[in-house]
Structure 1
Amino acid sequence: MEHWEIILFFLIIAFIYSSVGFGGGSSYLAVLAMYSFPYQEIRLTALICNVIVVVGGVYIYVKNKQTDWSKILPITLVSVPMAYLGAVLKISQETFFLILGITLIIASLLLWIKTDAKNNEETSVYNEGSLIKNGFLGGGIGFLSGLVGIGGGIFLSPLLNLMKWSTPRKIAATSSVFILVNSISGIFGQVSKLSADMDYVRIGSLCFAVFIGGQIGSRMSLNWNPLVIKRVTAILVLIAGINVLIKYW
């Protein structure tokens, strides 16, 4: 496989992110955007890798009963069809990279924002929002997720924290479910119009790399500061976003 170093990058990203409960979709896109791969392959690869890494986290959240389905469903039910629509929408490669560059820059800003990590469920007051508001939020992020090739958690989680939507733990659980279902929906949209330019050996190799990295990271108790990881990632994602815009503007 050409550019074998990407396998190592993906393994490390999955290892670090899974060890602190993240998915890593934006970082996969940021790495892939630095190479001249077909844009449809970039989207499909990032979505599949997202599913592989985040499915374990969703299982743990469900097992520990941290998923509040009455709050998750209004957001995800609208986001799933919108993610599919975003994935099947026909756009040019130049348009894709333009949207991707802008998306990465916005994502880097959201990653940089420090939200309150305290989890005092008894004294805090949360604003759950209306069904319509949650539906619009989920639908909008879902559409962008399918269009670009991310799970959407990088946008949903910071916004829900800023809105004081629920406890940090329940927001993390909601984001994990959101990433999983939207990534799956986006994959279905992508496979409906696969390009002949795709390198399936490369896609399979990267998926295997994130599986290994994700499994190791999720099973290791690492005392890493999630905020530090988020902000280092924010800088890298920002650089990748600016580079994409300069290259394809």
Structure 2
Amino acid sequence: MGHWEIFLFFLIIAFIYSSVGFGGGSSYLAVLAMYSFPYQEIRLTALICNIIVVIGGVFIYIKNNQVEWKKILPLTLISVPMAYLGAVLKISQEIFFLTLGITLIIAALLLWIKTDTKNNGEISENAGNSLLRNGFLGGGIGFLSGLVGIGGGIFLSPLLNLMKWDTPRKIAATSSVFILVNSVSGIFGQLSKLSADIDYFRILSLCFAVFIGGQIGSRMSLKWNPLVIKRMTAVLVLVAGINVLIKYW
């Protein structure tokens, strides 16, 4: 595999993102886009790496009783088919990169917004129990996730924090589950139209990198300041989004 520095980039990204309950799909996409790899391979790689990273986090969150399935299901039941629909939707390479760049910039702004991570008692019961609102939110983010090849947690987590949907830890757990199921759905959608020029060795190498970074980061998630990590992630995503737009606008 040429460009071996990408292996290190992916390891670091997985480490940072997994520490706050994300998979890193947005930054994987941005890094690969700057190397001009085939855009179908870019989306597939990002989703597979997402799954590898968040599986460890989901396991840890379940083990620590941070996953509330009754609140997560309304978000995921609609997001899964919508992620599949977004993945099978045929778009041009130009539209893909334009959508990706805008998506990354919006995600960065959402991540930068400061939410109260200390007062876990202020939880809006209406936000967590509104089936229509949760279904609409999950479906919209799921469709966008499938379209550009991300898990969607980078959008879901800031929005749920702003809605005071639950405690920060449970929102991070919810985002991890959301990323996992939507990434799986997006991969199934992409399997129907894979191109012949995909470099599977490169994909496997990058999967190994994010496995290492994700395992380390997910185990440090309870020790780091979530706001600091989110701000670091926001800067990383913003720079990546701007670079994608400059290169492909």
Identical aligned pairs, as a percentage? 85
Contact 1:102-1:241 at 8 Å conserved across structures:
yes
Distance 1:137 1:124, change over 3 A: closer
Residue of structure 2 in register with 1:111 after alignment: 111
Q: Flag structure 2 segments of 5+ consecutive residues without an equivalent.
A: none
CA-CA distance at 1:187 after TM superposition: 0.8
CA-CA distance at 1:52 after TM superposition: 0.2
Q: TM (normalized to structure 1)?
A: 0.93
Matches within 5 A, 1:104-143: 104-121=104-121, 124-126=123-125, 127-143=127-143
CA distance in 2 between partners of 1:228 and 1:77 (Å): 32
Contact 1:119-1:169 at 8 Å conserved across structures:
no
- Which piece of structure 1 moves more, 125-134 or 232-241? 125-134
CA-CA distance at 1:20 after TM superposition: 4.4
CA distance in 2 between partners of 1:143 and 1:207 (Å): 24
Counting matched residue pairs gives 248
CA distance in 1 between partners of 2:117 and 2:219 (Å): 23
Q: Flag structure 1 segments of 5+ consecutive residues without an equivalent.
A: none
The 3-state SS of whatever aligns with 1:3 is coil
CA-CA distance at 1:137 after TM superposition: 0.5
Contact 2:16-2:233 at 8 Å conserved across structures:
no
Contact 1:119-1:168 at 8 Å conserved across structures:
no
Contact 1:27-1:233 at 8 Å conserved across structures:
no
Q: Does 1:155 align with 2:155?
A: yes
Contact 1:25-1:151 at 8 Å conserved across structures:
yes
Distance 1:20 1:142, change over 3 A: closer
- Amino acid in structure 2 at the alignment position of 1:195: S
- Which piece of structure 1 moves more, 110-119 or 141-150? 110-119
Deviations 1:66-87 (A, max 9, x none): 2111111011000000000001
- Amino acid in structure 2 at the alignment position of 1:98: L
- Amino acid in structure 1 at the alignment position of 2:42: I
The 3-state SS of whatever aligns with 1:128 is helix
Residue of structure 2 in register with 1:54 after alignment: 54
- Amino acid in structure 2 at the alignment position of 1:105: I
Residue of structure 2 in register with 1:200 after alignment: 200
CA distance in 1 between partners of 2:10 and 2:33 (Å): 13
CA distance in 2 between partners of 1:137 and 1:97 (Å): 23
Q: Does 1:93 align with 2:93?
A: yes
CA distance in 1 between partners of 2:227 and 2:56 (Å): 21
Contact 2:20-2:230 at 8 Å conserved across structures:
no
The 3-state SS of whatever aligns with 2:128 is coil
Deviations 1:175-223 (A, max 9, x none): 1110000001001111121111211111110001111222233345785
Deviations 1:100-145 (A, max 9, x none): 0100110110111111102433x65443252111111000000000
Contact 2:99-2:148 at 8 Å conserved across structures:
yes
The 3-state SS of whatever aligns with 1:182 is helix
Q: TM (normalized to structure 2)?
A: 0.93
Distance 1:219 1:73, change over 3 A: closer
Contact 1:33-1:240 at 8 Å conserved across structures:
no
Q: Does 1:239 align with 2:233?
A: no
- Which piece of structure 1 moves more, 160-169 or 10-19? 10-19
The 3-state SS of whatever aligns with 1:192 is helix
Contact 2:19-2:221 at 8 Å conserved across structures:
yes
